[in-house]
Structures are given as C-alpha cells and as structure tokens.
Structure 1
C-alpha cells in the first residue's frame, strides 16, 4: 500500500509539472473555435440521380441537385437540406415537392439554399412589360404541405420562378391544371416557418396556406403575382405572425387574411413591422389591391407597417360588397385592432385611398400622416375625402430609394435591386411604433424544427428598425 501511494504521488507530481510547463509555454490568448457539425438525418442523397419520387435523408451542403419529377417526403420521413445546397428545376415541367412528413431547408446567411431554374435569368428593369417578364411565367410548381405534413421549416432560402400551372396534380387539395403556389399547406396542426428567405415571382399567390401554425418573418417578397396574387394569401385554419417582411410590387395586396374555407381554427393573424412598396397596381379590379387586407371572417392585428405608394392603405371589409364582379365578405371587425401605421403617397388618387373608400378601416391618432391633418372632423370609415394635403409629405427617408417616386408609374417598382429600404437615422418612422401587444407564439423556437427567433414588435415602424433586429436582407 505504501509503495502504491508513493507511485501515485510521484505520478501526480509529474503530471502537475508537465501541465505547468505547458501553461508557461502557451503565451497566446487565441481561442480555438470548433464549428458545430451540420444537422443531418439518415443517408446523404446522391447528386448523380435527379430527384424524383419518395425521398428522405439529407441534401448535402454546397451540392447541386437536379429535379427530374415530383418529389414526395412520406409521412414520418424527413428531408433535410443543408446550407449552400442548390435544387435546380428543368423549367419545362411543373415539378413539386409534396411534404407528407417534414422538410427542413436550413440555409444560412453565408450559405443560402436555392430552389431555382438555372436557365432563367431575372430581368429587373423599371417599367419593363410584365407580360414578357419570366418572373410571372411559373417554371416549376411549388412546395406543398399535404394534410399530414408535420414540419415545413424554410430558413435563408431563395424560392425563385415557381408557381406554374400543374399538369396532373400531385397533391390532394389542388385540381389538375390549376395554377400552383410556390408554398402552400393544408394541415391546421402542421408547423410552417418561413424566415430570412426570398420569394421571387409567381403567376398567382406565391404563398397560400389552407391550414397551419406559422411564423413568417424577415423575408423579402418580389413580383408576387402577374395580374392577381398576394405575397401571402391566408385562408381558414391558419394562426400566426407575418412580420418584418419586405414586399415589393405585389399584384394585389402584400398579405391578405381571410377565413374562407370553413376550417378550424378561425384565421387569426398578426401583421406587424412590415414594409410594403408599390403594391396593388397589376390588379385592375376596383376595390382590390394595395397593402394589408382583412376580409371574410378573419381576425387579427396590424401595427407598425410602413406602406409607400401602394394602391390602397390597410383595408378591412366591413360590409358584403361587390367590386367589378369580385365579391368581398365582411371580416371579423370586432376582433381586429390596428394603428401606428405609416403611409407615404406621391399621387392624389392613392392619397384618397389611405383609408379606402367603402371599407371599414378606422383611422388611429397614432397613424402617419396624422388623420386630423387631412380628414374632415366629420369623417366616418369608408367615406370619400380629399387627401391633397398629404401628397409627398412625411417622407420615411429610406437609405436608397428615391422619393418622391421618379418612375413613370407607381407600379413600375416591383423588385429590390440596388434599393435599400432601411431607415436613415433621422427618419420620422423611428420611435413611432407600438410594442404593447404579445406575439402569437404558435411555433416552437428551434434551430431545426422551429423558428430561430420570434422577433417582437419594435418601437420603430417598418421591417428595418434602427436596432438591427428586423429584416437582414
């Protein structure tokens, strides 16, 4: 026992001495950072064979995959897409991703994922003829969450040139030959996250959910819909948040909430801190198009939204009406709250529709411009008024976007390009927001199976608050 003790004591002294020598020799203060491994499930999917049929596993980082047919992720299965992966569609077939289980597209800011058509180039030219713009042609189908889908998580991902016309529909709730949506779901219990991503072009709605719990945050929507379509057209069975999104040049509205379809739960949406530019001008119907819309039994809130040269301001349908054959059904007006919204306009026609004629949108004393600066003291929601006093007033002062707008038509602006819709330090939108409500946190916060963060409302108005917590594009 004594010998053993002495050996152990000697070993301890030696080890301690060596440790001291190593510490003495290490004069560097540099920390070694070991990167976490990329999230992966199952086997890696080969790049040698075009994607088609039932697939599960992982599409590997920085790899290119060609699509050769409709892709199905079966119930209980998961397909993970790692950062930097590219999914290329041929462009001549309306191929779709049909999700019956879970799809996780986990791009990063440094390495976004792409769903695109490599043979098609963007033609972002102010005033270009939309009839020749490939953004409105629909070169592939869409990503569909079937009635059994569990998770569709899309982060830092480009979704480009989709929304074409289907042939034989691969999804239960879309008809053969129907115009596709780039992203759609039909399961009120499914989780959908779209964050820090880009949606570019579509024939109709880029995003139309028929049922899910969603968080749609910090995205950029460009050229949504040819002659009709919203950036997000929400139907019944949906509850969630649409916030910190930049929408440029939607055909009709930016986002629209409707309880159409009769699926529980009732549509309940929070629209806050969005920036919506030049939307509503490719939809020619009277009473249609513009910025934010509640109709047909939907409920929710709309705060801190910045709208510039949109055809209409926030529109709440307060009575069943018909506009050029378009039926509009009353929203759940008792359960809709809003205010602290900012509208800038460069024409009298749209100044007269900041509070749309014939609708139930109520002015808020905290709106910009102040309602009492142009509305008569006897104003009632939906009444005609003269907005000439506010044309060209209250410039929000973007970092790089010319106001007054210098293009020939308000609808000429349909893409971001080199514009920068962040606010200058002296913008009148800073400090004018409202934070006194709680976000609808209906999705989990998770690096993989949920939202990276639920960004709360901000004291500034628009998608780019001065504290840097909003849209990163």
Structure 2
C-alpha cells in the first residue's frame, strides 16, 4: 500500500472517530430541566392531569365534572390553603390519585397549620363522590388534616351528597355508586376529624393502608353500608375513635353488603368514644361478614354485634388473635350475646397473655392515646404467637382483580399469620 492510500485511510478513520465522539457527546448532553408546575390558585371545575411533582394550591371548592376525570401523578401535592372556605373536593366524574412509594400524592395543608391544636384536622373537607362517579382510586396517597364541617354553602350539601345537611363533618372519602369501583391501596389516612371511608355502594378493595389519629367524638376508620361488596385486608388501624370496621347492611340497597375482612391489625380502638357502641369491628343489620386472621390488641371490645339487629347467619368469624394488656380490656374480649366468638380464635382470660411481640410498640401505651409515633413498628418479632395463626384457604372477592382505568387491582392473598404485618 502506497503512502497516499495510507494517508487517506488515516484521514477517513480520524473523521469516523470524531463523528462517533460527536454522536456520543450529543447523547450525553442533558436535556432541558423539567420544573414541576406550581398552580397558585385552584378552584372550580378541574380535570385532565396534574403533573408529576407539581403543587396545586386549592383556594376554593373544586369539582370533577360528570364525564371527565382527574389523574394526579406521583409526587403531586394538593395543598388546601384557605382556612375560611375549607374546600371540599366533589368527584362527579372519576378520580385517579396515583402516587408511588417513593413519591406519594399528598392531600394536605400548609406545614404551619400542622399543630397540636389541629391534631384532628378540620382544615379542609374531604373527597365526596357523586352518584355517577364510576372509578375512584387512591394509590400511594397521603390524606391528612381534613374533615371540616359542612355548611349550607358546602357543595356536598347543595348536591345532596353524603348526609346532605349542614353541621356534619365530612369523611376522608365518600362513595355511593353501586355500579362503581372504589380502590384504596398503600395509602395513609391521618389527622382527620371524622370517619375515614363512608361507603354506600360499589365493588371495593381497601388494602395495605395505615390509619391513625382519626375521629374526635365519633368516627370509624372504614364505615360500610348496603350495596357494597368489599375486600378489606392488611390494614393497620391505630386508635380510631370508634371502630376500625363498621360493617352494616343498613339502607337495604342491593346487593347486600358483603365484606371479607382479613389480616388487619387493630390497636387501641374505641376507647375515645363517649358511648359504648363499638371498639374494634362492629356488625349489624344483616351484613354478611367473613373475618379472618385479624389481630386485635388493647381494643375496647372484641368483635361486637348489635344483638337486636345482628349480622347475616352465613357470616364466618375465624382465627382472630386477641391481646389485652390489662384485665379490663381482656374481660371485654370474652364471648357474650354481643361479643362474637369465632372459630380457632386465640383468646385468653388473663391480662398480658398472647403478647404479639410487635417490633417496636409499647403495649402499655394508654388505650385512649391518639398521638402516633412514626417510629412504631407493628411487624412481628420471631417467636410471636401470631405467626402461623392465619387461615389461608378461604375465598376473597377480588382475587382475580378489578380493572380500573386499564389497571388491574387485586386483593392480596391471605397470610398464615394474624394481623397486617408479618416478620421483616
């Protein structure tokens, strides 16, 4: 090969290297920085998409119109920032709140409002669905400091929703469409004045959630009426004012209320209620309830029925784990005309027996305590008597899942331990 050819080949190779280097540099150049949006004043009708990481400051009542949807992406903060209006969110269309474990959606208030005096919220309303809302999803969503009282000007009162009258504290979420789907998974509900969820219809999955510091003078974490068919599983519910689960067929809507509630951990329930209506799981009005593997620790009562208007005879209660740190609590777990005796329950008559061995929770914490320490850990230590106490061969309603907005949500498979959290 002559020198000229060698030079030409060298030039061609050099140009190719520079070209490749240029392509590589182009790929490594950072794109334009995406700045999450900040909407300073949101009120009235809303729909479409609230963008990942954005902040939407709600300064008046908002409404998702019929036939439209609002999708809230991961990391969005919905900031209720009007202490006079105390906005409600009326969902006449569909709502999809889709956070992630790393970047949950937050329905919240300014940090300066999160004081001891506002421990039970009352600073904004709640999420109130209309009769034609067909899909309502809260996934990896934090809801806090709401439950404001309704007035004659409240959108929910004007629309005839929830209890449709002034003077009622609204729940975290209200849903009523028998033909609809209501999904709440991997979410946190805290610092609310009243009920968590008040549900009067629909196919429902409520799973893997945490509830605490809810209800001042009343309020259940999950309140279910006729028209609902639900799987309620793997929830940790700490110190609800009244019951963790209030299960009723009141209203006589079709279908009959049917709830499969399993592997829930319920602690300190019912002690702040001024009357003795409930204290862990309440059954009434011919509700059909299948309850398995629930762990009840220091609750005011065991599973309790309205003796004058009891649950459906087909109901199944099985493998409930009881713990009472003192004799008063232990005595109130004992079966009676009102306290339901289940099959294969772990129940003793002596205070302090059957210590569930939570990883980090003082079992002598005052039963009327509502303040929650986020360092507490309700997983089970090795050697806990709750391990191996679960029943797994029963049917849940939505093992095959509910399809909502193209996503399939399945109720979780039951565990062979009692309570919501096994060992780490």
TM-score by length of 2: 0.85
Q: What is residue 87 of structure 2 aligned with on the other side?
A: 95
In 1: Cα distance, 2:63 partner to 2:335 partner: 44
In 2: Cα distance, 1:402 partner to 1:214 partner: 33
> Which residues in structure 2 correspond to 1:239-250 (within 5 Å)?
239-250=229-240
In 1: Cα distance, 2:85 partner to 2:106 partner: 18
Q: 2:154 aligns with which of 146, 169, 176?
A: 169
> Which residues in structure 2 correspond to 1:116-155 (within 5 Å)?
116-120=108-112, 122=114, 133-155=117-139
Q: What is residue 69 of structure 1 aligned with on the other side?
A: 60
Q: 1:345 aligns with which of 324, 334, 342?
A: 324
> Which residues in structure 2 correspond to 1:195-344 (within 5 Å)?
195-286=185-276, 288-317=277-306, 319-320=307-308, 329-332=309-312, 334-344=313-323
In structure 1, list runs of 5 or more residues that go unmatched.
1-44, 124-131, 321-328, 375-386, 469-473
In 1: Cα distance, 2:250 partner to 2:214 partner: 21
Tell me, yes or no, if the aligned pair for 2:46 and 2:70 is still in contact at 8 Å. yes
Report the alpha carbon displacement of residue 432 of structure 1 after superposing the two structures with TM: 1.1
Tell me, yes or no, if the aligned pair for 2:220 and 2:243 is still in contact at 8 Å. yes
Name the SS of the counterpart of 1:271 in structure 2.
strand
1:60 maps onto 2:51 in alignment: yes
Q: What is residue 391 of structure 1 aligned with on the other side?
A: 351
Residues 443 and 166 of structure 1, relative CA distance in 2, 3 Å threshold: farther
Q: What is residue 368 of structure 1 aligned with on the other side?
A: 346
Name the SS of the counterpart of 2:368 in structure 1.
helix
1:426 maps onto 2:383 in alignment: yes
More contact order relative to length (CA 8 Å, sep ≥ 6): 1
Larger CA deviation: 449-458 vs 106-115: 449-458
Residues 426 and 107 of structure 1, relative CA distance in 2, 3 Å threshold: same
Report the alpha carbon displacement of residue 229 of structure 1 after superposing the two structures with TM: 0.8
1:85 maps onto 2:47 in alignment: no
Q: 1:110 aligns with which of 102, 109, 112?
A: 102
1:439 maps onto 2:424 in alignment: no
Residues 163 and 443 of structure 1, relative CA distance in 2, 3 Å threshold: farther
Residues 121 and 244 of structure 1, relative CA distance in 2, 3 Å threshold: farther
Name the SS of the counterpart of 1:260 in structure 2.
coil
Residues 451 and 160 of structure 1, relative CA distance in 2, 3 Å threshold: farther
In 1: Cα distance, 2:59 partner to 2:212 partner: 27
In 1: Cα distance, 2:65 partner to 2:324 partner: 49
The structure 1 segments of at least 4 consecutive aligned residues displaced by more than 6 Å after TM superposition are none
Residues 462 and 122 of structure 1, relative CA distance in 2, 3 Å threshold: farther
Q: Deviations over 1:331-350 (max 9, x none)?
A: 22x02101111011011111
Tell me, yes or no, if the aligned pair for 1:248 and 1:416 is still in contact at 8 Å. no
Report the alpha carbon displacement of residue 67 of structure 1 after superposing the two structures with TM: 0.5
Tell me, yes or no, if the aligned pair for 2:226 and 2:257 is still in contact at 8 Å. yes
Greater share of residues in strand:
2
Tell me, yes or no, if the aligned pair for 2:212 and 2:370 is still in contact at 8 Å. no
In 1: Cα distance, 2:338 partner to 2:47 partner: 48
Tell me, yes or no, if the aligned pair for 2:320 and 2:342 is still in contact at 8 Å. no
> Which residues in structure 2 correspond to 1:184-195 (within 5 Å)?
184-195=174-185
Q: Deviations over 1:187-244 (max 9, x none)?
A: 1111110000000122221211122211000000001211211101111111111110
Name the SS of the counterpart of 2:328 in structure 1.
helix
Cα RMSD over matched residues? Answer: 2.0
Q: Deviations over 1:125-147 (max 9, x none)?
A: xxxxxxx6413241100101110
Residues 331 and 133 of structure 1, relative CA distance in 2, 3 Å threshold: farther
Report the alpha carbon displacement of residue 284 of structure 1 after superposing the two structures with TM: 2.2
In 2: Cα distance, 1:454 partner to 1:363 partner: 23
Report the alpha carbon displacement of residue 87 of structure 1 after superposing the two structures with TM: 0.3
Report the alpha carbon displacement of residue 452 of structure 1 after superposing the two structures with TM: 3.9
Report the alpha carbon displacement of residue 279 of structure 1 after superposing the two structures with TM: 1.0
Q: What is residue 24 of structure 2 aligned with on the other side?
A: none
